[in-house]
Structure 1
Amino acid sequence: METLSRAELDALQVQRLRRSVVRSMQAPIYRDGAFAGKLDPETITSIDDIRRLPFTTKDDLRANGPFAYLTVPLSEIVRIHSSSGTTGTAVSIFHTSDDLANWTELVARCMAAVGLSKEDVFQNIAGYGLFTGGLGFHYGSELLGMTTIPAGPGNSNRHIQLMQTFGTTVAHLMPSYALSLMRNFEALGVDPKTDTKLHTLFLGAEPHSEETRLKIEEFYGAKAYNSYGLTEMNGPGLSFECPARDGMHIWEDQFVVELIDPDGDQPVAEGEVGELVYTTLARVGMPIFRYRSRDLAAFIAGPCGCGRSHRRITRLMGRVDDMIIYKGVNIYPIQIEKVLSGYSGITDNFLIVLENDQKGERITVEIDTEDRQLTTECAESDRLRKSLIEALRSEILVTVRIEFRQVAGDDALPRMKPKRIDDRRLK
């Protein structure tokens, strides 16, 4: 399955799309709603025919409710997961036992692709419950036969103790937590390179730059792989990095992926950044067609060095909602993270503040630091500020103001909250 030819993959997608369209007619939204009559399965001859269907958005899922998308009785649903609800009412996704089996196989496939096996000990440092990351990885690791530690988040020192006690070789965690955990290792005098058996990390649940990955790998002495998924498409297992680590493969036997203009509905040219749009091909209980994820990435052309044929995307550039338009230039927070990761003395916590004053628009990047001296007017802070301004100008093509903010521990600007404050419309 992983090395099917392009022609074989295309034929499989067409076959599974037809089957999914037929199945979807059992759901009220597809039988009677906006999708009704849009696509006759008998007329599907190419995967491009999917464009005859309307898009599905998060607002659609909220407005119609999950039951409108169900193709089976509720008695056949064995699990419900939900999105975080950070941008509004949480979206719920319903799974049958077949859906869970498919999802588990995809996660196990991702883990096996980077060389993991039943000889490994897997520590899952992710939230369980409605969040998909915990249970998704948990069942994938068990299917692969790994010894699995359902550690969950929090209690950092205990995570380090578990790693040493049980010989953890693989961990799944958020990149920001991997960075935070470094302080606990240092405080305990534990070197993960020599005092643990870690060799593989899965980083997921938030975008991160290549520079952040390299910093994590250097500290832990382990290879870090980007894990990308979203609740509406099961969660983890949608996309993964192979050993070549040259983009993330999308499992095209299970999903159709499109890239469109975020401000419209037309495909973007190969290599251009666009909004990722997904269609489930094998989900039984709650199929979703042409879901606009709001995530931004680009396709990577050409074959992958690993030999797998499934299409690749770049690491996420961010979300459509994260993109800042400043004086006609598109800016993504991950570009700023990329620059900050190359400097010592500051953290990678930052806040972008956009304002209007008498001279026009102004953009400021507030950066957390534990170095009190940097928050004062001195030669060192002036040198660092000038260097950052120049490096950011080279990356994002605009000139910013830099302010340093002294923090300690819990005072840090939280990464999971919005990284920008836009007051331009309020002036």
Structure 2
Amino acid sequence: MIWNNEFETLPPEALEALQLKRLKNIVEKVYATVPFYRKRFNEYGITPDDIKSLSDLQKLPFTTKQDLRDNYPFGMFAVPKEQVVRIHASSGTTGKPTVVGYTKRDIEHWAELMARTFSAAGVKKGDVLQNAYGYGLFTGGLGAHYGAELLGASVIPISGGNSKKQIMIMKDFGTTAISCTPSYALSLYEVAQEEGIDLKDLPVKVGVFGAEPWTDSMRKEIEDKWDIDAVDIYGLSEVIGPGVAFECLEAKKGMHINEDHFIVEIIDPETGEVKPFGEEGEIVFTTITKEAIPIIRYRTRDITRLIKEPCRCGRTFARMEKVTGRTDDMMIIRGVNVFPSQIESILMETKGTLSHYQLVVDRVNNLDTLEVWVEVGEEFFSDEIKVLQQFSKSLERNIKDIIGVTAKVKLVEPKTLERSQGKAQRVIDKRK
């Protein structure tokens, strides 16, 4: 179901005119109110008057996560702090967190975008949404919460963790939709099994999953185990949070980018050159409606591809494919570029492996090594050692043939690897 037909089905000419108008306004605003952007624009010899067409966006400098950290905490704000009604911050694995703020209007826009997201997933007024994204400084929980309420759904703000209680609430409250990370959805399935509850007997019909890359193989596993539709969503705290892009239930083929709020580009991650539609590269966003922290040409480090072909759902926004990896999550193993999602695809397509895995990278005698730890079914450990050895060697050959890197596969029993209540930690790089 389309939530906002007026904007989600805009003809291309009308959308481009709206984007240009909003782009000019936002460039003028950051030049006037954000010292960082004024200084950076001046270094590039650019003024707001130079933006006369959408293609002129390419003249503007990129913004990176480091820029936000360098201006911690409020140096990127474009409005006085008394106009900021909400402050979030990303956890950040190193250094200071990135801080983002929202005006009242920003919160309203955010709720609108998440209402579109849930509506596209088939959630409607009267549904009961169990929101297991984390609340607090993380943008996921509250972003999803406000959107579902605007839609008219009943929201259970359970946040992440406490899995046994999650299952109990799901059963007792009649949950019809769930939102969380895909890896946590698989963890909940295991807990339900331990509790003797078959998730297929519950009224849950759809899962809205995001916050980490996941493959179509993992989607199929979730859908089979839960007997639900699983749809993908995409967002970044620096851009707005969840609600940047979403899949529709009708197609499940690429995520519709809310182009009335964000201008999207695909660039070559090495050169920064803009690539044509359809080519894979790093996705870059410019916010054109945000008030508290507008952001110009934000480098996400996420690798994907844009789809321009019309979608059968009727939305006219461009779509982005599932993120295949990140330029900063990319591992370089003996000169070979490797993304965790590539190995996940191989594991998920191999009968006998379970959905939980971990990649351990190390350096031995000045040479990079890669170990793939993957859980397999209990039945494997009742077989002869020879069977396990043959299976691991087969996986090693597949990884070598498909990705071009030598890996040592270690098969472990179910529930051996640590479970995540949020984003799964897939890579342990001991070289660092």
TM-score (norm 1): 0.92
SS at match of 1:257: strand
Q: Is the 8 A contact 1:99 1:283 kept in 2?
A: yes
1:320-375 deviation per Cα after TM superposition (whole angstroms, max 9, x unaligned): 111123344322101111121233254422214243548x5543323345749659
Q: 2: distance between equivalents of 1:39 and 1:319?
A: 30
Please say if residues 66 and 92 of structure 1, whose CA atoms lie closer than 8 Å, have aligned partners that are also in contact.
yes
Other structure's SS at 1:164 match:
helix
Counterpart in 2 of 1:344? 352
Could you say which residue in structure 2 is the equivalent of 1:99?
Answer: 106
**Residues 358 and 425 of structure 2 are in contact (CA less than 8 Å); yes or no, is this contact kept in structure 1?**
no
**72, 81, 90: which one pairs with 1:83?**
90
- Identify unmatched segments of 5+ residues in structure 1: none
Measure, in 1, the Cα distance between the counterparts of 2:269 and 2:146: 34
The equivalent residue for 1:419 is 427
Describe the shift of the 1:122–1:361 C-alpha distance in structure 2 as closer, same or farther (beyond 3 A).
closer
Q: What are the equivalent positions in structure 2 for 1:187-266 lying under 5 Å apart?
A: 187-194=194-201, 196-243=202-249, 244-266=251-273
Percent identity between the aligned chains? 40
Counterpart pick for 1:114 among 121, 138, 142: 121
Aligned residues, how many?
A: 422
Question: Which AA in structure 1 matches 2:427?
Answer: K
Structure 1 Cα separation of the partners of residues 110 and 279 of structure 2: 29
Q: Which whole-Å deviations, capped at 9, do the CAs of 1:13-55 have from their partners, x for residues lacking one?
A: 1000011112223423256421248544444232111111111
User: Which residue of the partner structure matches residue 190 of structure 2?
Assistant: 183
Equivalent AA in structure 2 for residue 35 of structure 1: F
259, 284, 298: which is aligned to 1:291?
298
> In structure 2, how many angstroms separate the alpha carbons of the residues matched to 1:185 and 1:324?
34
AA at the equivalent of 1:56: T
Q: Is the 8 A contact 1:259 1:277 kept in 2?
A: yes
> Of 142, 145, 148, which aligns to 1:135?
142
The change in CA–CA distance for 1:99 and 1:241 in structure 2 (over 3 A counts) is same
1:76-124 Cα deviation digits (max 9, x unpaired): 1000011111233100001100011011101001111232211211110
Match of 1:23 among 29, 34, 47: 29
Distance in 1 (CA, whole Å) between partners of 2:194 and 2:123 is 30
* Residue 357 of structure 2 is aligned to residue 382 of structure 1: no
Q: RMSD across aligned C-alpha pairs, in angstroms? A: 2.4
Cα distance change, pair 38–218 in 1 and its aligned pair in 2 (3 A):
farther
Residue 353 of structure 1: aligned partner: 361
Partners of 1:319 and 1:286 in 2: CA distance: 24
- 1:172-200: per-residue Cα shift (whole Å, max 9, x none)? 01111111111111112211112x11001
CA positional deviation for 1:143? 0.3
Q: Deviations over 1:244-287 (max 9, x none)?
A: 11111111100011111112211234433211111110001211
User: What secondary structure is seen at the aligned counterpart in 1 of 2:75?
Assistant: helix
Tell me the secondary structure at the aligned position of residue 35 of structure 1. Answer: helix
CA contact (8 A) 1:375 1:405 kept: no
Residue 149 (structure 2) pairs with residue 149 (structure 1):
no
Query: Are 1:203 and 1:224, in contact at CA under 8 Å, matched by a contact in 2?
Result: yes
- CA separation of 1:34 and 1:184: change in aligned 2, threshold 3 A: same
Q: Which moved more, 1:342-351 or 1:84-93?
A: 342-351
**Rounded Cα–Cα distance in structure 1 between residues aligned with 2:183 and 2:293:** 32
Alpha-carbon distance in 1 for matches of 2:297, 2:152: 34
Distance 2:294 2:155 in 1: 30
Contact kept, 8 Å, 2:72 with 2:96, in 1: the verdict is no
Pairwise mapping of residues 268-283 of structure 1 onto structure 2 (< 5 A)?
A: 268-283=275-290
Secondary structure of the 1:233 match is: coil
Structure 1 position 5, deviation (Å): 1.6
Q: Deviations along 1:118-160, whole A, 9 cap, x unmatched?
A: 1211110111011111000000000001011111111112111
Aligned AA for 2:203?
K
Q: Structure 2: how far apart are the matches of 1:150 and 1:413?
A: 19
1:60-90 deviations in Å (ceiling 9; x for gaps): 1111224222222111100001111123310
Indicate how the Cα distance of structure 1 residues 413 and 99 shifts in structure 2: closer, same or farther if over 3 A, else same.
closer
Change (3 A) 1:363 1:69: closer
Query: C-alpha distance in 2, partners of 1:411/1:95?
Result: 35
Give secondary structure in 2 for the equivalent of 1:45. Answer: coil
Equivalent residues of 1:70, 1:285 under 8 A apart: yes
* Equivalent position of 2:8 in the other structure: 2
Cα deviation, 1:197-252, whole Å, max 9, x if unaligned, reads 10010111111111111100101111011111110011110011112111111111
CA-CA distance at 1:376 after TM superposition: 9.9
| Distance of 1:361 and 1:113 partners within structure 2 | 44
Alignment CA distance shift 1:389-1:263 (3 Å): same
Is the Cα contact below 8 Å between 1:368 and 1:413 reproduced in 2?
no
TM-score (norm 2): 0.91
Aligned in 2, Cα 1:237/1:23: closer, same or farther, shift over 3 Å? same
**Separation of aligned partners in 2, 1:291 and 1:298:** 16
Is the partner of 2:100 in helix, strand or coil?
strand
User: Does the residue aligned with 1:171 lie in a helix, a strand or coil?
Assistant: strand
User: Any gaps of 5 or more consecutive residues in structure 2?
Assistant: 1-6
Change (3 A) 1:214 1:384: same
